Amino acid sequence: MSGEYRVYVTRRVPEAGLGMVREACETRVWEETLPPAKDVILEEVVDSDGLLCLLSDDVDGEVMDAGDLRVISQYAVGVDNIDLAAATERGIPVGHTPGVLTDATADLTFALLMAAARRIPEGIEKVRAGEWHTWEPMGLLGADVWGATLGVIGLGRIGTAVARRARGFQMRVLYNDPHRNPELEEELGVVYTSFDNLLKRADFVTIHTPLVSETHHLVDESALRRMKRTAILINAARGEIVDTDALVRALEEGWIARAALDVTDPEPMPADHPLVGMASCIVVPHIGSATVTARNRMAEMAAENLLAGLEGERLPYCANPEVYEEGAR
């Protein structure tokens, strides 16, 4: 297969997967830190058989029509940057990397929860600023995690992994999801409840639902106002699920106590954005899957999808399996 196909990779990914692609194909890689402009992608796909892309790339019908792609492989679980309907219509299978980053993202979610609850970043800044003068009985008082109530929005793989971690802290776990899961309720002791009741009762609200039209700005002004004034919001899913302007007002006016975000809208979030400067808000740069193990496996899965698609084989991790149905182009 070596050199038979041409592939464009929109950013350098771990060699665990990139090496597989380079060994099998003529490979061009965008070497810059920032993602390529859409014009660059349009130019590169003209003579490419395969595209390995990232969440930061807009892959729509225009990109697909610029060349004759046999496969699109996404280095991520989510595919909201790719027009799946357009790909299916054109007979292009789209790969992604489900499951591999579940534990890494769940770990990061709990790290954000703990850091926000115990005001860790504020403590670090106090020490760095030379403002730690003595032990203070009223200094940086935070929220208890042990025995608190956790509200999980979206009990998929990552939401379930977060709920498992919460058991170690004897937390009461409420969840809301379009599909109730009695088996997990029995196994983990989680309790299904309405979205409204979850917001009203939870000390911590953590988001793990996919970004679709129904979840865009799911956590809006109305939702934030229904949360406890002492509540903490964590988002490690997609930034657009939270209304950013409403969150700014919620923290400024005390509708909720704190927030911790791994994803933002806009993303990346400018350094001068109000949320970045707030002591009550933690913002980290989308590092949910940023462990060596998770990122290496993501690269391998992306390569496996890419190479399978180039050979006309069914993708092992396909985001639009309907492309293989009878009658699809």
Catalytic residues: 238, 267, 286
CA triple 280-264-41, angle to 5 deg: 155
CA distance 264 to 75: 19
Which residues is 219 bridged to in the sheet? 242
CA distance 250 to 243: 10
Do residues 92 and 310 lie in contact, with contact meaning Cβ atoms separated by under 8 Å?
no
Do residues 241 and 219 lie in contact, with contact meaning Cβ atoms separated by under 8 Å?
yes
Q: Cα–Cα distances in Å, from 233 out to 39, 209, 250?
A: 37, 14, 11
DSSP 97-114: --STTHHHHHHHHHHHHH
**CA 118 from centroid of its chain's CA atoms:** 24
